[in-house]
Chain A
Amino acid sequence: MLDAAFLMPLLPLVGFVVLVFFGRRVGEPVAGWIGTATVAGSFVAACVTLVGLADQPSGARTLTCSDTCAPGASGHAFFDWISVGGLHVKLAILLDPLSMTMCMFVTGVSMLIHLYSIGYMKGDRDFTKFFVYMNAFVFSMLVLVMANDLLVTFVGWEGVGVCSYWLIAFWFQRDSAASAGKKAFIYNRIGDAGFLLAMFLIFSKTGTLTYLGVFAHRHLLVGGGTVTAAVLLLFLAATGKSAQIPLFNWLPDAMEGPTPVSALIHAATMVTAGVYLLCRVSPLLALSPDAMWVIAAIGGATAFVAATIACAQQDIKKALAFSTISQIGYMVLAVGSGAYVAAIFLMVCHAFYKGLLFLGSGSVIHGMETEQDMKRMGGLRRVMPWTYATFLTAWLALAAIPPFSGFWAKGDILTNVYAKTLVLYALGLLTAFFTSYYMSRIFFLTFTGRERWAEEAPDGRPPHRRPHEPSWVMRAPLVVLSFFALFAGTVDLPWVHVGTLAQWLGPVFGSRLFAAHESVGEQVGLAVADGVVAVVAAYVAWVLWRRSADRPALEPTFLQRVWYWDAFYDTLIGRPGQAIARACAVVVDGRLLDGAVNWTGRLVQSIGSGTRRIQTGFVRNYVVGIVVGMAAVLAFMLSRTWWS
């Protein structure tokens, strides 16, 4: 059954190739169905593989390619990708409970969002191209997750990055979309430089880049801060891909892409790749407590900062984007605390409810003819009951209202952080308050209160037509995801110890897994605190935003302008950078270097024109003659003096 593993990435790749060459010919909607079918096949392959892997005894669930590759496998890998001197990189699969878990929700959520996109992208002039990019994305994401080797992970890592660039800039005629795509690529590229350097460092010490090889020789990395440097460089890569401080600014802009893209790439899957990478290299993290502290602190800070910003956003997708950043901050905080299972737990739950929230917002945007301003919504409960009901479940899950999935996942993280350090726990709890508040605000502004869409906007835009529910291809994914948003928490309930996510993932992390040893009383106390904070925050939002959409005091410019983070980068790096580039081009290259060349040229020319009276011809010919003559004489002299 494990032979099916290679089909997971292969099927979307086939879909991609088919759509590149024949997509335009088959057109809409067949291209969409081809895309969806290949990803669905990939999901089936993942299910089959999961069953096969679960059949193995729990200690023997880490399989590399030699155990799982089927056709074309030459012993250990599909083929040798790069092999020079001591560097050997094979294209091979690493299958263990961690990568399996990722594969399951990546293929599952992708399948649903592909289906949804058939409805959402209906009538777009680049309908087929959309599915070309989406299939390429699923393929790259699976390569990232299933790779047996850091460098092959990097292939997927860059692949998802470029798909993200294409899909953000999908409506390329809009300048804002084109710029957002570029921004995402460049921010990610900065992180990628960290990934590259980490690989160079690890290779120079261990002579290998396969995960298992590096872990086996990880003692070679100890000493001289090597392991800390390697982990922090990988973390830099993670901050880029997972939109953490200091490289988080690209994600809100990425909302320029079509909403299914935001749901799949910028919420459910790609942006969690950084967390996955850190979990994957947990044996290295364990060697560097310093790096763990940095990771935990950055994660906590990002969670807090992004949650505050989300409280003041007006654009529904931007608000959800900051929510994503904040939620990933929680995951990173968990990783920094050694609570890897909790991080993955939240990642899975988040994939469901955040994917659902974006699809729900997409359904709203679709129904309101591209309106994204929550101040122009309100009262949608009555006109979009399906969207309302499913969005409601996602709201309850994200706000961490007990007993829905977010409550269990976030509670798991906070319990672990509490045992690590009280300061970060307090920050996490404060963030939990803001989380529940901003999510409730989004929900009330969109679905309850006055039907502001039926009124003229304050700036004079005409009222909207009556919003409508989307077709069934868009509704079905909402219902499926909403089921998981509500009940995904049950895979790892704190008092159950058999058949849970923790038991499944446990062997991957082994003793490195931080075990929070609170008493039952403490655990219950922490859970009650979480629950109370979430409910109180939701109540506060209900009081404030249920009826009114206009409270400028609660939306300070500081938060709307994202803590002035973009302005800060622009002043500190953007503009000086442009000035330096211009200075280099004009002054250094033009005046200095080329100036010297031209000056020499003119000098020779003036000498030449002096001799022109004697002979006729071109100056350059004489330069040549002089130089060659000099050369011969010089050579002769030198050869006599040096070796006689």
Chain B
Amino acid sequence: MTATHAFPFLTVLVLLPAGGALGVVVLGAWRGLPRAVIEWFGIAVSLATLGLAVAVAALFATTTGGFQFVSDHAWATGLGVHWFLGIDGISLFLVLLAAVLFPIVLAGARTRTDARSFVAWMLLLECACLGSFVSIDLILFFLFFELTLVPSYFIISGWGYARRAYAAVKFFVYTFLGSAFLLVGILVVAFAHEHQTGVLTFSLPALEHTRFSGAGGILLFLAFTAAFAVKAPLFPFHTWSPDAYAEAPTGGSMVLAAVLAKLGTYGILQFDLRLFPQPSVDLAPLLLTLAVIGILYGAIVACAQRDLKRLVAYSSLAQMGFVALGIFAFTSQGMTGGVLLMLNHGLITAALFLLIGWIYERRQTWQVSELRGLQAPAPVMAGVFTVVMLASIGLPGLNGFVSEFLVLSGTFLTHRWWAVVATAGVVLAAIYLLWAYQQVFHGKVDLASSRTRDLSWAERVVIAPLIVVIVFLGVYPQPVLDRITPTVNSLVAHVDAVTHTHEPPVARAKVAVHAAPARRSST
């Protein structure tokens, strides 16, 4: 916890969208107000939030792995709950991801009805997402974590498609059930810490050193992981996601898959690994196996989908499997790759859902069988879709590859056979995405296709930032890696220290590896 700043960056960052939501409600009371004003107000608030997030990233110190921009205020003193915010290399890019995506959602995925409520819910959702990523008090985290559910539920049920009611309830109940376990876990951890030290606190850095008995630790780990695995989702807790992603409006799908899903894997990294290092290492084979099953299973099921949104949903299942794989490999490369993949997957999936939403606006379908030959009338859309698709497949030069390579090479160092099987997922991703692309964009143009509009200039402006970042992070990911790595290294070191395990030398060594063989060869 080094750099502290006079200006309360994180508090403002979290509260700004909430204030914006309130502002929308107030503005909305004025009946005659054109909807464009409210929409632009929402975009302006989310852009201001983005500006703040960029400022945080610019001032972020790369020399430390600890929390920065810490702001700690006693809140419910008797209960030991604090307004305790901080940001580290893991949460920094998730904050940025959320801050980048919300303006794009508000600008590119507008709704036809009731703009006022939609914008208000979206801004509240942004507040909840940002709050979750920067809270390092467990109760505060839990509150934000749960707060994400309310706007998501209303966005799905209010602006979704045919089966929206079913999808919204399923999403709500399923994830809430997982959260119940999380709440139990949080309370037990805090009480255990109080028992050991006499201090009741929910502060993550303080609780990091709590010791648990073997079985107790494992149960707690499972309680936390239940919530996170549902949220991510990891196999086999994913069945809410295809329904929710498919039935949600475009903006909802984007936020659900790109940002909210990351809460799951973020929770695993930030809370499971810090609080329960030993159980994490002990149960790593189980989680790695689920991750690998998710990678293959998600990809295989994606191959059988005939609906673009469900296809992307299952592809997300596979991608989140890669994230989990990288985390539980416990190597610098794997974990850094996992964090980077959270960012990359967010960018790619958001772009895919946005493009699919635009196809729906034009054709009122996302059934692959009803679309054909769109590349001829809409070459720019096809080109943009190609870039995003190739990023998702993991083409070097685009962002997806860097994270995929780091995850797999990092996993190979400690869990060779899991990495070998997971590599097959790389092949499968090409199969379903190229198949979908061929069905939708290739082939003879029919009458309906020939009348399909290409991307308008406004749409190009909206999606351009995503494409630029996708390309940039593929060509020059180092600035991001430089900020993730210190935190990941300290996390791996924390796990290694508690569990007395060691990263393989090649994962960490800089010069030593090259020196070692030389010595060996001389003898």
| Residue pair A193, B423 in contact (C-beta under 8 Å) | yes
Q: Is B331 an interface residue (CB 8 A)?
A: yes
| Residue pair B395, A173 in contact (C-beta under 8 Å) | no
Q: For residue A628, which residues in chain B have a CB less than 8 angstroms away from its CB?
A: 180, 183
Q: Is A186 an interface residue (CB 8 A)?
A: yes
Q: For residue B390, which residues in chain A have a CB less than 8 angstroms away from its CB?
A: 162
Given A83-B481, A196-B426, answer yes or no on A158-B333 (Cβ-Cβ < 8 Å).
Answer: no
Q: Is A412 an interface residue (CB 8 A)?
A: no
Q: For residue A207, which residues in chain B have a CB less than 8 angstroms away from its CB?
A: 505-506, 509, 513-514
| Residue pair A172, B419 in contact (C-beta under 8 Å) | no
Q: Is A175 an interface residue (CB 8 A)?
A: yes
| Residue pair B303, A204 in contact (C-beta under 8 Å) | no
| Residue pair B438, A182 in contact (C-beta under 8 Å) | yes
Q: B504 — nearest CB in chain A belongs to which residue?
A: A204
| Residue pair A581, B191 in contact (C-beta under 8 Å) | no
| Residue pair B300, A584 in contact (C-beta under 8 Å) | yes
| Residue pair A623, B431 in contact (C-beta under 8 Å) | no
- Report Cα–Cα, A84/B489, bound state, in Å: 10
Q: For residue B514, which residues in chain A have a CB less than 8 angstroms away from its CB?
A: 207-208, 213, 217
Contact of A182 among B173, B238, B435, B475 (CB under 8 A): B435
Given A172-B375, A207-B506, answer yes or no on A189-B427 (Cβ-Cβ < 8 Å).
Answer: yes
| Residue pair B173, A219 in contact (C-beta under 8 Å) | no
- Report Cα–Cα, A537/B397, bound state, in Å: 48
Q: For residue B401, which residues in chain A have a CB less than 8 angstroms away from its CB?
A: 158
**Smallest CB–CB gap between B513 and chain A, Å?**
3
Number of interface residues of B (CB under 8 A): 86
Q: B186 — nearest CB in chain A belongs to which residue?
A: A635
Q: For residue B102, which residues in chain A have a CB less than 8 angstroms away from its CB?
A: none
Given A189-B427, A593-B239, A631-B180, answer yes or no on A638-B188 (Cβ-Cβ < 8 Å).
Answer: yes
Q: A155 — nearest CB in chain B belongs to which residue?
A: B396
- Report Cα–Cα, A630/B442, bound state, in Å: 55
Contact residues of B: prevailing secondary structure? helix
- Report Cα–Cα, A370/B485, bound state, in Å: 56
- Report Cα–Cα, A208/B514, bound state, in Å: 8
Q: Is A15 an interface residue (CB 8 A)?
A: no
- Report Cα–Cα, A79/B476, bound state, in Å: 9
Q: Across the A-B interface, how many residue pairs have beta carbons closer than 8 Å?
A: 219
**Smallest CB–CB gap between A595 and chain B, Å?**
9
| Residue pair B196, A84 in contact (C-beta under 8 Å) | no
Q: B430 — nearest CB in chain A belongs to which residue?
A: A189
Given A635-B187, A642-B216, answer yes or no on A627-B177 (Cβ-Cβ < 8 Å).
Answer: yes
Given A162-B390, A635-B187, answer yes or no on A84-B333 (Cβ-Cβ < 8 Å).
Answer: yes
Given A162-B390, A643-B192, answer yes or no on A193-B424 (Cβ-Cβ < 8 Å).
Answer: yes
Q: Is A85 an interface residue (CB 8 A)?
A: yes
- Report Cα–Cα, A219/B522, bound state, in Å: 12
Instruction: List A residues 176-219 near B (Cβ within 8 Å).
Output: 178-179, 181-182, 185-186, 189-190, 192-193, 196-197, 199-201, 203-208, 213, 216-217, 219
| Residue pair B240, A631 in contact (C-beta under 8 Å) | no
Contact of B304 among A86, A201, A581 (CB under 8 A): A581
Q: Which of B55-63, B105-113, B408-416 contacts A (4 or more CB under 8 A)?
A: B408-416
0/1 string, A553-597, CB within 8 A of B gives 1: 000000000000000000000000110111011101100011001
Task: Identify 10 residue pairs between A and B in the complex whose beta-carbon atoms are under 8 Å apart, listed by A's number.
Answer: A80-B478, A81-B476, A82-B477, A172-B442, A173-B443, A200-B408, A208-B514, A581-B303, A635-B188, A638-B184
7 shortest interchain CB distances as A-B pairs:
A85-B332, A207-B513, A639-B191, A178-B442, A200-B412, A585-B304, A207-B506
Q: Which residues of B contact A (CB under 8 A)?
A: 169-170, 172-174, 176-177, 180-181, 183-184, 187-188, 191-192, 195-196, 213, 216, 236, 238-240, 297, 300-301, 303-305, 331-333, 336-337, 373, 375-376, 390, 395-397, 401-402, 405-406, 408-409, 412-413, 416, 419-420, 423-424, 426-427, 430-431, 434-435, 438, 441-445, 475-478, 481, 485, 489, 503-510, 513-514, 517, 520-521
